[in-house]
């Protein structure tokens, strides 16, 4: 049931034909089926190993019990034996089991030694027991024998020297294995089905556990389908602790994408609104046939160019912000930008100090644009000296850019971040530099503030960006 609801849904995806072949080739099989197969394999290995060990234990216990009964009879034979007047061995007391008197009854005994004819039970009739190889057993020796083709035997034997005799007598007692094998077979007939039933029950339990454990994935799939259908905006169903972090990350990703989409719509609207007025002025100037048409086109084209540059910078930063692997070394960017600014303003002295190992979670191109705008403003409006300090504080990288210019009054420090605002119109520029810096810094989760430089007396710009 879970397999049909979780994994095969991938194969039924109507958009599967549009997916790359490398992606669809990796989405194979069922997660539930894999988990059940692993559980079944491990359960089978454990039950087979455990069953084999249990079979050895039970078979050994039955065999030892069987041998104990024969050993009791063997010891009784030795105790009731004596040497006759002719040096032969004989039993003073007959053994009590009636089967020793019945031919081919399956229970036999035999005493042999020296040159004497073997003294054996009536149950052997014309047969005799033989040792597998000539040897002497001072302790009881147990083995299986197939010397009688129609009857497998369990044999116990021991060599004994009786009082009054120098002959080493071999005492043997044997019994058919039929009863022993029947007991072992009965145990196995119970053990094997029991273990098989236990294994089947454990596999069913593993399957139920897998289906129940994967059940929250059905809720996630349904919630995602509902979001795709426009019914919901988030996965808000209560889920187990193991799955909830993944859902939280999914909701965070959705929120991030919505924010980016909203920012893109906002920027597109702002750009359209910003270009609408200059285009209207151009159309009106063109239709009125005024002499100042060329100046109007130049002025409005410059305005549109500023707006396009500003929104393109924001769009690039928003697009790159989604790359979690964005990294840039601040010191490398400061050195690179400083050389470029020094070439444009050779009369300005640029110095830098601080932590050279600081890395920020910002694309290098955006970091160069941020630092470049600030350094260029410091060189343009400063008095000829610019100092850059790189540091780290509270998980944020700090870039301090100070100059020895006239600075900016506290009343103008917020207004200057507005697009197109320039406090010094005597120098070339578009008035978008600081606005772009603030927007890009905020997109990456940073900030920019304007302060007074205590060392140089001019303006100090404090740029804070997330440190990597």
Task: Report CA-CA distances (Å) from 10 to 23, 28, 109, 213, 328.
Answer: 11, 9, 75, 19, 39
In this predicted structure, the answer to whether residue 364 has a pLDDT above a threshold of 80 is yes
Backbone phi, psi, residue 303, to 5°: -60, -45
Range name among 3-12, 312-321, 408-417 with the lowest pLDDT average:
3-12
Mean pLDDT of 356-370: 88
Mean pLDDT of 67-82: 91
Residues 6+ apart with CB under 8 A from 54: 191
The pLDDT score that the predictor gives to residue 323 is: 47
Mean of all residue pLDDT scores within the chain: 80
Whether residue 118 lies inside any domain: the answer is yes
The Cα 141–Cα 155 span in angstroms is: 8
Mean pLDDT of 226-251: 77
Beta bridge partners of 396: 393, 466
Torsional sign, CA 151, 154, 159, 165: negative
Whether residue 251 lies inside any domain: the answer is yes
Whether residue 446 lies inside any domain: the answer is yes
At residue 433 the predicted structure's pLDDT band, cuts being 50, 70 and 90, is low
Q: Which residue has the tokens 């058919």?
A: 176
SS3 assignment, position 279:
helix
pLDDT-above-90 percentage for the chain: 31
Mean pLDDT of 441-459: 87
Last residue of a domain, one of 163, 180, 197: 180
Beta bridge partners of 153: 145, 176
The pLDDT score that the predictor gives to residue 276 is: 62
Mean pLDDT of 445-456: 88
The Cα 214–Cα 217 span in angstroms is: 6
In this predicted structure, the answer to whether residue 59 has a pLDDT above a threshold of 60 is yes
At residue 299 the predicted structure's pLDDT band, cuts being 50, 70 and 90, is low
Range name among 27-31, 110-114, 243-247, 418-422 with the lowest pLDDT average:
418-422
Mean pLDDT of 129-147: 84
The pLDDT score that the predictor gives to residue 270 is: 65
Mean pLDDT of 302-330: 64
- Is the domain of 160 the same as that of 274? no
The pLDDT score that the predictor gives to residue 220 is: 80
Whether residue 238 lies inside any domain: the answer is no
Whether residue 72 lies inside any domain: the answer is no
In this predicted structure, the answer to whether residue 440 has a pLDDT above a threshold of 90 is no
SS3 assignment, position 449:
strand
The pLDDT score that the predictor gives to residue 165 is: 84
The CA-based diameter of the chain, rounded to the nearest angstrom, is 160
The pLDDT score that the predictor gives to residue 359 is: 93
Backbone phi, psi, residue 306, to 5°: -60, -45
Residue (of 74, 270, 264, 103) closest to 174 by Cα position = 74
- Is the domain of 175 the same as that of 189? no
Mean pLDDT of 26-52: 86
CB 375 within 8 A of CB 357: no
- Is the domain of 115 the same as that of 260? no
In this predicted structure, the answer to whether residue 108 has a pLDDT above a threshold of 90 is yes
pLDDT-above-70 percentage for the chain: 77
End-to-end CA, the chain: 46
Backbone phi, psi, residue 245, to 5°: -60, -40
CB 388 within 8 A of CB 399: yes
Mean pLDDT of 134-161: 88
Count of beta carbons in the 10 Å neighbourhood of residue 328: 21
Q: How many structural domains comprise the chain?
A: 4
The pLDDT score that the predictor gives to residue 7 is: 38
- Is the domain of 302 the same as that of 211? no
Is 360 or 229 the better-scoring residue by pLDDT?
360
Range name among 152-161, 182-191, 388-397, 433-442 with the lowest pLDDT average:
433-442
Tokens coding 280: 């209207």
Residues 6+ apart with CB under 8 A from 164: 82, 83
Q: What is the pLDDT of residues 163-189, one digit of tens each?
A: 888 888 899 999 999 999 999 999 999
Residues 6+ apart with CB under 8 A from 311: 267, 270, 271, 274
The Cα 278–Cα 296 span in angstroms is: 9
At residue 281 the predicted structure's pLDDT band, cuts being 50, 70 and 90, is low
The pLDDT score that the predictor gives to residue 2 is: 38
- Is the domain of 347 the same as that of 390? yes
Q: What is the CATH number of the domain that holds 418?
A: 3.30.565.10
Predicted model pTM = 0.49
- Is the domain of 41 the same as that of 140? no
In this predicted structure, the answer to whether residue 291 has a pLDDT above a threshold of 70 is no
- Is the domain of 197 the same as that of 296? no
Beta bridge partners of 89: 83
In this predicted structure, the answer to whether residue 8 has a pLDDT above a threshold of 50 is no
In this predicted structure, the answer to whether residue 360 has a pLDDT above a threshold of 70 is yes
Domain, as residue range, for 42: 2-57+185-228
Tokens coding 29: 């099989």
- Is the domain of 369 the same as that of 455? yes
Mean pLDDT of 368-390: 89
Q: What is the pLDDT of residues 145-154, one digit of tens each?
A: 988 988 999 9
The Cα 458–Cα 301 span in angstroms is: 34
At residue 302 the predicted structure's pLDDT band, cuts being 50, 70 and 90, is low
Sheet holding 385-393, edge to edge: 349-354, 385-393, 396-403, 459-466, 447-452
- Within its chain, how far is the Cα of 240 from the centroid? 18
Residue (of 413, 422, 388, 392) closest to 402 by Cα position = 388
Whether residue 386 lies inside any domain: the answer is yes
The Cα 109–Cα 119 span in angstroms is: 9
H or E, element range at 251: helix 244-288
Whether residue 301 lies inside any domain: the answer is yes
Task: Report CA-CA distances (Å) from 55 to 60, 69, 152, 351.
Answer: 8, 22, 21, 85
Range name among 15-19, 182-186, 368-372 with the lowest pLDDT average:
15-19
Q: What is the pLDDT of residues 42-55, one digit of tens each?
A: 999 999 999 999 99
- Is the domain of 19 the same as that of 122? no
- CA triple 328-416-344, angle to 5 deg: 55
Whether residue 152 lies inside any domain: the answer is yes
At residue 398 the predicted structure's pLDDT band, cuts being 50, 70 and 90, is very high
Last residue of a domain, one of 193, 228, 263: 228
Count of beta carbons in the 10 Å neighbourhood of residue 261: 11
- Is the domain of 330 the same as that of 434? yes
H or E, element range at 75: helix 31-79
In this predicted structure, the answer to whether residue 57 has a pLDDT above a threshold of 90 is yes
The Cα 5–Cα 12 span in angstroms is: 11
- Is the domain of 343 the same as that of 435? yes
Residues 6+ apart with CB under 8 A from 250: 235
- Is the domain of 331 the same as that of 459? yes
At residue 287 the predicted structure's pLDDT band, cuts being 50, 70 and 90, is low
Task: Report CA-CA distances (Å) from 36 to 195, 214, 268.
Answer: 18, 12, 52
Last residue of a domain, one of 319, 345, 370: 319
Mean pLDDT of 394-414: 86
């Amino acid at each position: 049931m879970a397999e049909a609801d979780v994994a095969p849904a991938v194969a039924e995806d109507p958009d599967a034909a549009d997916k790359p072949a490398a992606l669809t080739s990796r989405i194979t099989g069922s997660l539930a089926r894999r988990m059940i197969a692993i559980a079944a394999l491990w359960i089978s290995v454990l039950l087979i190993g455990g069953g084999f060990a249990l079979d050895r234990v039970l078979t050994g216990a039955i065999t030892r019990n069987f041998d104990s009964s024969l050993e009791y009879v063997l010891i009784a034979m030795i105790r009731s034996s004596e040497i006759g007047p002719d040096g032969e061995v004989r039993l003073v007391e007959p053994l009590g089991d009636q089967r020793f008197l019945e031919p081919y009854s399956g229970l036999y005994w035999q005493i042999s030694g020296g040159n004497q004819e073997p003294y054996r039970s009536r149950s052997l009739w014309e047969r005799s027991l033989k040792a597998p190889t000539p040897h002497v057993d001072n302790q009881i020796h147990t083995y299986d024998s197939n010397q009688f083709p129609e009857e497998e035997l369990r044999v116990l034997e021991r060599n004994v020297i009786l009082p009054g005799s120098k002959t080493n007598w071999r005492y043997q007692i044997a019994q058919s294995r039929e009863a022993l094998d029947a007991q072992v077979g009965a145990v196995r007939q119970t053990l094997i089905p029991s273990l098989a039933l236990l294994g089947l029950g454990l596999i069913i339990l593993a399957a139920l556990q897998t289906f129940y454990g994967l059940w929250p994935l059905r809720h996630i799939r349904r919630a995602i389908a509902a979001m795709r259908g426009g019914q919901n905006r988030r996965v808000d169903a209560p889920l187990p602790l193991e799955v909830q972090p993944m859902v939280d990350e999914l909701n965070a990703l959705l929120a991030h994408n919505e924010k980016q989409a909203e920012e893109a719509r906002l920027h597109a609207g702002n750009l359209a609104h910003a270009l609408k007025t200059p285009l209207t002025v151009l159309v009106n100037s063109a239709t009125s046939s005024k002499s100042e048409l060329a100046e109007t086109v130049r002025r409005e084209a410059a305005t549109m160019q500023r707006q396009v540059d500003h929104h393109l910078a924001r769009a690039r930063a928003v697009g790159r912000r989604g790359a979690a692997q964005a990294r840039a070394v601040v010191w490398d960017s400061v050195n690179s930008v400083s050389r470029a600014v020094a070439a444009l303003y050779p009369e300005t002295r640029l110095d830098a100090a601080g932590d050279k190992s600081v890395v920020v979670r910002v694309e290098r191109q955006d970091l160069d644009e941020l630092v470049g705008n600030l350094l260029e403003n410091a060189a343009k409006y400063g008095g000829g000296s610019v100092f850059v300090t790189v540091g780290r504080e509270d998980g944020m990288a700090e870039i301090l850019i100070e100059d020895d210019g006239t600075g900016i009054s506290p009343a103008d420090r917020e207004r200057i971040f507005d697009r197109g605002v320039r406090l010094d119109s005597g120098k070339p520029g578009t008035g978008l530099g600081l606005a772009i810096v603030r927007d890009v810094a905020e997109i990456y989760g940073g900030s920019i503030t304007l302060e007074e430089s205590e060392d140089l007396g001019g303006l100090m710009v404090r740029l804070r960006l997330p440190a990597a």
